[in-house]
């Protein structure tokens, strides 16, 4: 069930990015992605999306898929009921994992931003070496 929720979150999070016009300045994108305040905002928005998705009613789908639940007052009504059935803290765990994942992406963006000048210098050295080759 975690995979379903995580996939839904990624799909929702990726939709606006796919619709956005392409940016020419990858460095600016890394700077934004590497900003801890942006990381916190993204994590908060993903948490809000998680909470909203968990409120989605799925009881009709469950009854259609497994008629044994028809009329069962204990049948899950929302996605949250399904996710927290075996782990009452599942929602909190999902949010914590999302926070950690966003923070990791932010750290990676900051590290990448610092490495770009070195990578560009290495590229320039390589190109110069190829241009200087008499063969």
- The whole-number pLDDT of residue 63 equals 81
Domain ranges of the chain: 2-14+25-132
Question: What whole-number distance in Å separates Cα of residue 8 and Cα of residue 79?
Answer: 12
Q: What is the pLDDT of residues 13-50, one digit of tens each?
A: 555 555 554 545 666 776 677 678 888 888 999 999 99
- The whole-number pLDDT of residue 14 equals 56
Give how far Cα 126 sits from Cα of 26, 95, 123, Å. Answer: 22, 44, 5
- The whole-number pLDDT of residue 69 equals 73
Q: Is the pTM of this model over 0.95?
A: no
Q: Is the pLDDT reported for residue 6 higher than 70?
A: no
Question: What whole-number distance in Å separates Cα of residue 16 and Cα of residue 57?
Answer: 24
Question: What whole-number distance in Å separates Cα of residue 45 and Cα of residue 12?
Answer: 11
- The whole-number pLDDT of residue 19 equals 52
Q: What is the pLDDT of residues 83-125, one digit of tens each?
A: 898 999 999 999 999 989 988 888 888 888 888 888 889 999 9
**Could you tell me how many residues make up the chain?**
135
Q: How many CB atoms lie within 10 A of CB 107?
A: 13
């Amino acid at each position: 069930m975690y995979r379903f929720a995580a996939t839904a979150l990624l799909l929702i999070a990726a939709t606006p990015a796919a619709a956005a016009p392409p940016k020419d300045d990858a460095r600016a994108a890394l700077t934004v992605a590497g900003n801890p305040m942006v990381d916190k905002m993204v994590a908060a928005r993903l948490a809000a999306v998680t909470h909203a998705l968990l409120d989605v009613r799925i009881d009709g789908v469950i009854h259609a898929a497994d008629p044994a639940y028809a009329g069962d007052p204990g049948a899950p009504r929302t996605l949250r009921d399904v996710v927290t059935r075996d782990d009452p803290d599942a929602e909190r765990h999902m949010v914590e994992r999302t926070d950690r994942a966003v923070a990791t992406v932010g750290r990676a963006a900051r590290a990448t931003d610092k490495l770009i000048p070195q990578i560009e210098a290495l590229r320039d050295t390589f190109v110069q070496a190829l241009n200087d080759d008499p063969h």
